[in-house]
Amino acid sequence: MIAGIDHFVLTVRSVEDTCAFYQRVLGFRRLDEPDRPTALLFGTQKINLHEVGQTFEPKAKAPTPGSGDFCLVAARPLAEVCASLAANGVVIEVGPVERIGASGPMMSVYFRDPDDNLVEVSDYGR
């Protein structure tokens, strides 16, 4: 019934800080459209951003900054991701470590974004 994920929403303290982080560290593209949440684009997916006090309907029942925990699949080798994290002063909390993802074995690193969401970036080594 389900083919994939189109987007998910993060509630953040500052759209500006969140966009700057994901653009600088992971190369996401920012999209601003009138009367729509700011979005971060990557691959064929996006993250919609709801700033505390300026959320869009419908929304989660209890939107809270820092409650996200998600895994992103790297388009480049994990070593390049780690180099970008280091160059931007982002501390890797765990990894690289072996994990099992939706498509099988992968290597992952874990770090925090400006709202303390746990971000996992993984490489299937293909």
Between CA 86 and CA 89 the distance in angstroms is 5
Choice among 16, 80, 93, 120 that is catalytic: 120
Is 7-123 assigned to CATH 3.10.180.10? yes
Average pLDDT, integer, range 90-103: 96
Whether residue 126 is predicted with pLDDT greater than 70 in this model: the reply is no
Q: Would residue 98 show up in a list of annotated catalytic residues for this protein?
A: no
Closest CA to 123 of 78, 71, 60: 78
Between CA 50 and CA 10 the distance in angstroms is 6
Domain ranges of the chain: 7-123
pLDDT digits (tens, 9 = 90+) for 37-89: 999 999 999 999 999 988 777 888 888 999 999 999 999 999 999 999 999 99
Q: What is the pLDDT of residue 49?
A: 96
